[in-house]
Chains A and B, each alone.
Chain A
Amino acid sequence: MDATQFRYTSDHEWVSQPVDGICTVGISDYAQQELGDIVYVEFPDPPQIVAQGESCATLESVKAASDIYAPISGIIQEINSDLEDNPQLLNQSPCSEGWIFKLKVDEESDIESLMDHAAYLAFLEQA
């Protein structure tokens, strides 16, 4: 996956371009660095309907638990079960093997409201 083609939220999550209406969701490299070593992922239970902005998963690092929010509305169809045994994939490969869930989006056009890669980089500079 190419991180420059992702869309991003202000919660430091990325969303891949939809394929047949399905996006992949994960956290950015900035987010994994901020959290530190991740030791556990609490997943949603697919299929789960989520509204944009709704808390739907939790990451626990060595010293903090952090909410993951649905970047756009849809139905969570699949989780990355590799993270159950190997949560450090989120640190090692946040934009590829460390994806968190796949979301069938209600409206594909919703993704356009999120930041593109350049806008996200600018957002990080302001943070």
Chain B
Amino acid sequence: MKWIETPPGASAAFHMGLDAFLSEKVLDEPVLRVYRFPDPTVTFGFRQEMSQCLLPGAVERYSLNLSRRRSGGKAILHHRGLTYSLVIPRKLMNGDVLNSYRKICDPLYRALKSWNPSLEFDCLQGTAYKDNPVCFLESSVESFSIGGKKVVGSAQRRTRNNILQHGEIQLFSPNISGSEIFRTSNPSECLKLDELKQGFLLKEESAEVLRGVAGDIRKEFEKTFGNSKTYALKCRNYNCLGPLMAQLRILPEREPGAVLLGKNQWFPQFEIGGSHHAKRSR
């Protein structure tokens, strides 16, 4: 397995672009990343309309970063959490969507359970698709919860070569209430959006805890997918990515007036460098 460390200040667009890039590559082993968005960020499923998910003015009011995922699913507020991303060659992951979720979620669950024994793996069969725009409002096959509150949500994109699974771990209670940024169609959902702040894994935030959780996730994934080496991320023409990332930030392809980027044009040209000496966090 490859473990890739990305720059701490990398934007949402950078991370979504890297996920997209990796999901198209021919890989010989899984690639795992655990990172944190530097600022409050909302990511959208590949087909969601921003205007149908967010309240008017929410972006400006909370200085939200925005980006689109390659995966499906619904909008997620990334704030005071950790994000994981696993890209695994399809040849290493046979079977249907549910089985692949179980195989990928199992090590994640083991890692997070060690930090909060109340964590539950929902593992629901055949959850009905509901027409609300927010991921954390509903439990599904891949979600983890504490006391009925969802704290981890994941999504997949399947390409010819790989399965990309990424997800958000709501590590600490977000400072922003869901009802302040997301649109809802009825009052009961509005109440649930307020309750999203009550779903979190840990209480006390510290850099040490963040490193510890990330290290445990890596360790548990190694048990399932093999030992990992740390790889540096090289980015050709890194300085040229600024304008590209600025374009990504305004959600190409689906929002009126947005810059239209053709398919594949928005994949930054990343390279995975040779492995260097692993500096394990634990």
* Residues of A participating in the B interface, judged by any CB pair closer than 8 Å: 11, 33-37, 39-40, 42, 53, 55, 58, 60-67, 69, 127
Contact = CB atoms under 8 A, between A and B. Distances in A.
Given A37-B129, A40-B47, A62-B129, 7 more contacts: A34-B95, A35-B96, A36-B98, A37-B126, A61-B72, A62-B126, A63-B142
Given A35-B97, A36-B97, A65 B129 contact: no
Interface stretch (B55-63, B156-164, B183-191): B156-164
B56 to A, nearest CB: 25
A63 B159 contact: no
Contacts of B47: 40, 42, 58, 60
A33 B142 CA distance: 18
B276 interface: no
A33 B97 CA distance: 9
A114 B45 CA distance: 33
Contacts of B126: 37, 62
A67 B158 contact: yes
**Chain B, interface size: which category?**
20 to 34
Interface centre among A33, A39, A67, A69 (most CB of B within 10 A): A67
Contact of B46 (A58, A62, A127): A58
A65 B101 contact: no
What does DSSP make chain A's interface, helix, strand, loop or mixed?
Answer: strand
Contacts of A33: 96
A66 B263 contact: no
Interface in B71-122: 71-73, 94-98, 101
B157 A63 contact: no
20 contacts: A35-B97, A36-B98, A37-B129, A39-B129, A42-B46, A58-B46, A58-B47, A61-B97, A62-B129, A63-B101, A64-B71, A64-B72, A64-B97, A64-B156, A65-B72, A65-B156, A66-B158, A66-B159, A67-B160, A127-B94
Nearest to A56: B263
Contacts of B72: 40, 60-61, 63-65
